[in-house]
Amino acid sequence: MESRSTQVAGGGTPAVRSSATADDGRTRHRVTALLLEHGPQTATELAGRLGVSSTAVRRHLDALVAAGRVEERRSPGTPRGRGRPARLFHLTDVGRQAFPHAYDDLALTALRFVADSAGPDAVRAVAEAQLAGLERRCSTAVEQAAGTGTVDRAQVLAAALTAEGYAASASAISSGGQLCQHHCPVAHVAAEFPQLCEAETAVIGRLVGTHVQRLATIAHGDGVCTTHIPGPFRGGDGPVVAHTRGGNRSTPAHPVPGERAARPGPRTAPSTSTTPTKNRERTPA
């Protein structure tokens, strides 16, 4: 009986291909680690440190260059003459980001010093200054949505925030709009200094053109930073209905199920007078 094996296009089983991919990932991490530790190097130097052939290391370097983690430059001071000039491989900023950083610790130390020295208002000033650049960049995109509703501006803002690394989205709800940020670059710092969240909320309000309310934050343990944007909403396919406060309730077109009709006034004995009565007009309150 013919044995059946799970083959994939290009040959090899999924388990083998998965193992090869993992090996490639480990080797490329070693390549970037060597560039971080020893600085720019040639393919031959990397191959010697890794104990592999120059051809093999070049395959990994090509993949790292394509991913933007490594770049190739001509070695400075290479004498002109016959033969290929030496090419050095450098680690890029993107490649460095794959290694651990202590930015959060540095930011916390700096803000603690500011708070101890000048108080919470100084921390707020630092937060506002840090977000000023973000506000300028996002305002350029939001200005293109001028004249539209707040929810439309929120959707444009969400796209701009996504480009900044916030993974944001916006949607319309019955009471206006909702802006969600699925990533917070400063969550660990904001957990101790809520002034960062407050300054960010103020920026969102200015960009969408109305007062907004922060309902949840990643910094305080929520899964998503959620901001409520009050404004007009569209019910189904009907017209835009203004969102109003509880005191400005409109009379429903049909009785609300379960709601009792207004109580009639006290019963009075039927009048025996033959004088005709006039119907009084009822004016709205």
Residue range 79-131, pLDDT digits in tens: 555 556 678 999 998 898 888 878 889 999 999 999 999 999 999 999 999 99
With the CA atoms of 202, 208, 214 and 219 taken in that order, what torsion angle do they form, in degrees rounded to the nearest 10? -70
Q: How far is CA 135 from the centre of its chain?
A: 14
CB 200 within 8 A of CB 131: yes
Pairing of strands 87-91, 70-74: antiparallel
pLDDT of residue 238: 41
Q: How far apart are CA 168 and CA 99, in angstroms?
A: 25
And the tokens for 42?
């040639």
Place of tokens 């540095």: 106
Cross-strand pairs, 169: 180
Look at residue 55 and tell me whether its pLDDT is greater than 80: yes
And the tokens for 161?
């925030």
pLDDT of residue 57: 94
Phi, psi of 124 (to 5 degrees): -60, -40
| Residue 49, Cβ density class (10 Å: 0-12 exposed, 13-18 middle, ≥19 buried) | middle
CB 131 within 8 A of CB 124: no
Kindly indicate the confidence band of residue 262, based on its pLDDT and cuts at 50, 70 and 90. Answer: very low
Q: What is the pLDDT of residues 12-53, one digit of tens each?
A: 566 656 666 777 888 999 999 999 999 999 999 999 999 999
Q: How far apart are CA 167 and CA 144, in angstroms?
A: 21
Look at residue 285 and tell me whether its pLDDT is greater than 90: no
CB 174 within 8 A of CB 180: no
| pTM for this prediction | 0.58
